[in-house]
Amino acid sequence: MSTDDEEIRYLPYEEAVKIVSAIQEEEDIEQPNHRILTVYDQKDVELCWFDFDEVMAAVGPVSKENEKEMVSDYILHHLPDWILD
């Protein structure tokens, strides 16, 4: 089965909120001048990461004061269920 055939399943928002302790904007070590958003759990273990530009495009234009909240909300609604594996 190719990845095109696999449907990504997301954790319920309520569960994601309990698992995630931090979302950090970081430099992608594999691509210079590229940013990622790394998601950490309560034990400071990396769970997954999101492409910064893709998340910002999905969130759309928001004010700087609302940006952090909107990005966090987007990510918490899009955490793949495989992070629990």
- State the residue for tokens 């273990």: 45
Q: Tally the domains of the chain.
A: 1
Q: Which amino acid is at 16?
A: A
Q: Binning pLDDT at 50, 70 and 90, where does residue 1 land?
A: very low
Model pLDDT, residue 5: 54
Q: Where would I find the beta strands (DSSP E) of the chain?
A: 20-27, 35-41, 46-51
Residue 4 in this model has a pLDDT that exceeds 70: no
Residue 6 in this model has a pLDDT that exceeds 60: yes
Model pLDDT, residue 62: 93
pLDDT, mean of residues 5-12? 85
For residue 39, list its beta bridge partners: 23, 48
Q: What is the mean pLDDT of the chain?
A: 92
The range of the structural domain enclosing residue 50 comes to 13-84
- Report if residue 78 sits inside a domain: yes
